[in-house]
Amino acid sequence: MVIAPAYPWQQAIFTTAIEFDAEPLSLLQGAIPAGLQGTFYRNGPGRLHRGSQRVGHWFDGDGAILAVHFQDGTAQGLLRYVQTKGYQAEERAGRYLFPNYGMTTPGLLWERLFGKNVKNCANTSILPLSDRLLALWEGGAPHQLDRQSLHTLGLDTLGNLTPTTPYSAHPKRDPKTGEIYNFGVSLGRNATLHLYRSAPNGTIKKRVDVLLEGLPLIHDFVMAGRYLVFLIPPVRLNILPLMFNLKSYSEALEWQPDLGTQILIIDRENLEIIQRGEAPAWFQWHFANGCLIDEKFIRLQLVRYADFSTNEYLREVSTGHPLTEAPGHLWELEFNLQTGELNKETQLTERNCEFPVVPDAHLGQSWRYTYCSMKRVGASLLTEIDSVIGCYDQSNQTWQEFDCGEGYYCMEPVHISYADGDYLISLIFNSIQAQSELWIFPAAQFTDGPCCQLRLPHIVPFGFHGKWANF
């Protein structure tokens, strides 16, 4: 299906990812930083239609992994779809078969009423481990991939999960111990929050299940010192229309601001809840980081939305024609550890932004720089997407930014730290040449622009999250 792009960025959404084997990336400008060894991995929906069928939501696309291996001054890129069972069945059928986040079971009413299991899309994020790569999706277990070739090796139960036990897409790795913390939310009459503490190799060493009230949507959490913090937004699933396939999961999510935001503070050693609190209603997908202040407060940053309209905006992005304005801004919050109460809240910018990241070495600890992608000053929230890389400096409460230029669009900036320096790397869509590029910036001078620009052999559609692996 060919859709004529009305906005330059639409091609980076509509294009179906083409798999390619490892091949050298051509250098457009600058030079690969000397001594850079490691791999940039990135995950996102690779296709948003099959024939005349379209996905219901951007979150429904099949996961396609981009890997760019850097070694001895060269960069080799490859891209592969995660070979989930659902993807393989739909490839064979040439049509969508399964319900998903924004899709009911395709087909006639009787097929919908007796709908099939949801497809694990494996499309949200990536977790590099020393011997394998995990493609993450928050509705089920991760898929295991070969780190070099990206061949899918099957579902990975991490020694504890069943194939349908959720393992979310935003795990946190303790920079000192290498331990990995994560969660998943299972549906039932009420939701169950699974809390996981894992060894550096991914094996789950401890799991605690917590019963929640209702069926909330939780996408991310915070590691702050020796605590994990969940801010449960007032979004609840109305399960009846979902059970009968009359509505998709996304359509069955309801914004219930009267519930407010529920705070859970968890001791990360034993995974027990040590404090609960409440705060006004807002919604967040992503946190930047958190830390403990004077053993009394937990400070965290997040991209905060006034309500859940961001979900509709993200659905509309997959159509190429957003109609719902859903501004998100970076905020800093402080919670009282003893009472769970919101002690302080500060909006850090008026600018629309997303994908906040901090250097991995500072996860759970005090930090200085928060990087994110942003819209250009004055850019329409509907007809433009992110084209600016921004950085908030906590030490002096100032912002710095780099505008990628008219016709260029950026994604989440991923932080690279290695022996010779710190860098940022971002997938860029160059709409002027209709090509995808990888731009590398020296983190300390990113406002001067990229020190290296590489061209990818095909357009890589925009997606969600990436990670750098030094090994």
The tokens describing 150, both together, are 């990206």
Q: How many CA atoms lie within 13 A of 408 on its CB side?
A: 17
Alpha carbon distances (Å) from 471 to 7, 12, 130: 39, 30, 7
d(CA 287, CA 105): 32
Quote the DSSP letter at residue 60: G
Residues 6+ apart with CB under 8 A from 274: 227, 265, 266, 267
CB 3 within 8 A of CB 14: yes
Q: Using an 8 Å Cβ cutoff, are 21 and 79 in contact?
A: no
Tell whether residue 321 is among the known ligand binding residues: no
Per DSSP, helices labelled H in 46-152 are 85-93, 109-113
CB-CB contact of 73 with 32 (8 Å) = yes
Q: Is 170 annotated to bind ligand?
A: yes
- Residue 42: beta bridge partners? 66, 466
- Round to whole Å and give the CA distance between 397 and 48: 40
CB of 181 within 8 A of CB of 190?
no
Taking the CA atoms of 423, 429, 433 and 438 in sequence, report the sign of the dihedral they define. positive
Edge to edge, the sheet with strand 192-198 lists 172-173, 180-186, 192-198, 204-211
What length is written for the chain? 471
Q: What CA–CA distance (Å, rounded) separates 425 from 421? A: 13
SS3 content of the chain, % helix, strand, coil (to 5): 10, 45, 45
Whether residue 465 is annotated as binding a ligand: the answer is yes
Outline where 263-350 has alpha helix (H): 309-317
Q: Which structure tokens are listed for 283?
A: 């919604």
Q: List residues bridging with 30 in a β-sheet.
A: 452
Binding-site annotation, residues for Fe cation? 170, 219, 286, 465
Report the binding-site residues: 170, 219, 286, 465
